[in-house]
Every structure is written in C-alpha cells, then in structure tokens.
Amino acid sequence: MKILTEIKRIAVLGAGLMGHGICQVAVQNGGYEVNLRDVEQRFIDNGFQMIKNSLQKFQSKGQLTEAQVAEILNRIHPTLDLKGAVSNADLIIEAVPENVELKKATFKETDQYAPSHAIIASNTSSISITELGTATSRSEKVCGMHFFNPPQLMKLVEVIKGAKTSDETTQTVLDVAHKMGKETVLVKKDCPGFIVNRVLIPALNEAVALYWEGIADRDDIDKAVKLGLNWPMGPLMLLDYVGADTTLAVAEVLEKELDPKFHPCQGLKQMVKAQLLGRKTGKGFYDWTQK
C-alpha cells in the first residue's frame, strides 16, 4: 500500500452553517492549521464570529482556557482568495451550498490551484461523489466527508468512496476524521443519501405528511417519535434544524436517482415555498425568533 498523505493544513471552502463548524473541529480537536474561505467578507465575518461564540461557550464551561481559545483562533486563516486558500493545503473540505453545479464549479477551480498530492473532500449530504470527481483531474483523490450539524457536537462523519476513490484517499480521510475526535462509518458505494439521509429523509417526510394531513398535532408527532423510537428530538424539530429546503433537496435527489417512493410530500414543498425553512429563517414548525 502507498504511504498515506500527511495532512498538516486543511482548507475549508464555505464559512456557513457547516463550514465554520468543520473549521472549528479541525483546529480545536485535530490541531490543524485551517484556511477558511468564502466568497464574501460578511460570510467570513459571520462564520468567524460563530466560531468565537462557540469557543466562548466551551470556555465558560471550563473546557477551554482563554489562552487555548486564543491559540485556536490564531490557527484559523480567513480568506476570500480560493487560490490562496487551497495552494498550500493537503486536504480541502468543500462545504458550499447543496447545489451540484456550484459544487462541480468549485471542484474544477480547486483542482487547478491545489497541490497534486492534495485530497478534495465534499461535505455534501446527497450529491454523487463520483460526479464531483469528474470535475477534477484527480478522481482517485476525491471522496465524501459528510459531517452532521452542528459539527462541534455531533460525533459522526460519513466517509464516502466515489467510483474511482483510492483506498489511500479513503484511509487518509478516515484518519483525519478520527484525529478530529469523530466516529466514522464508511459508505463503500456512492449512492444518494449515503446511510443516514437515506433512512432519515423518508422519516422526516412522513412526519410532515402526518402533520399536513391533520392526523396529529406537531407536539404529539414529536413526542411520539421521541418516546416511541428514543430519538433525542422529534422529527419536526429536527427538520427545523436541518432546514426544510435541505430536506426537500435531498428528498428530490433520492426520488430522482433511486426510487419514486422517496417523493417529497406536498406539505414539505409548501413550507419551502413559504420560506418556513426552520431555524435559518426564524420560523418552521417552531418559532425560532425567540431564544
């Protein structure tokens, strides 16, 4: 077996909901230097502020000292320059919005500037890793590295092999995830939704259908699943965390790529049209405008 690539510096592309959290765990738990890149300064500023807020929570609980917080922040290098972000990185983790054309364009540009040894991983929750790999000249060094929200707290990372992903690439990414303090599962074949979302999205979709058809109230649906299936939170509250738009996007991919049985219910589509997306817009099944 080839010697695994040594990962010293990571580039995270996207400072949003997932990207800032991935950046934080890479530095805080993994001890890596991280270049954090986004397309507008306000996204960088917002992501950096969310990292600061999260670290201050750890500090207030006595889990980090003030000096440790300062050291973590010093190892994050924010930038608007894609070339500058990836040209010295050993691993690039893409966390841009869940849009296949945007992701492919990002992969293509990243491939031009990244060192030849660098691995490009995607935090996609549903898009084909094999397809993303075709946008590059290094399909064997492309894989999925799917974190869960919020990355600072959720222990799981799904590592997904594309059709051409090498064993060395897969093992390197598994090792990095472990160094970040994560538990991993390996998705051996590139399939839409991977493991978690292939099981979760139909469950969330059915919960919306129950509510929309007037079969039960919101609180009783969430209570039933929490107590009956031992979930830590109910499906409608979880949907508000995930986002109705993200849930719909994944359901549509599953329906198109796998089976009509994944067809999203009318209620989910209506919520997205009404911009009742959950936490990110302030309202979904719950009101998030009041803390």
Q: How far apart are CA 55 and CA 261, in angstroms?
A: 42
117 is catalytic: no
- Kindly name the residue from 33, 94, 158, 252 that is annotated as catalytic: 158
Question: 218-256 in b/e burial notation, b at 16+ Cβ within 10 A?
Answer: eeebbebbeeeeeeeebbbbbbbbbbbbbbbbbbbbbbe
Helical segments of the chain, H only: 19-28, 41-60, 66-74, 82-86, 100-113, 129-133, 167-179, 196-212, 218-229, 235-242, 244-257, 266-273
Chain mean position to CA 132: 15
> Does residue 92 contact residue 114 with C-beta atoms inside 8 Å?
yes
Question: 78-93 in b/e burial notation, b at 16+ Cβ within 10 A?
Answer: beeebeebbbbbbbbb
Task: Kindly tell me the burial class for residue 172, based on how many C-beta atoms sit within 10 Å of its own C-beta (0-12, 13-18, 19 or more).
Answer: buried
Nearest residue to 114 (alpha-carbon basis) of 140, 92, 144:
92
Torsion sign across C-alpha atoms 263, 267, 270, 272: negative
- Kindly name the residue from 125, 139, 166, 205 that is annotated as catalytic: 125
146 is catalytic: yes
158 is catalytic: yes
- Kindly name the residue from 20, 98, 146, 205 that is annotated as catalytic: 146
- Kindly name the residue from 128, 197, 205, 252 that is annotated as catalytic: 197
99 is catalytic: no
Catalytic positions are: 125, 146, 158, 197
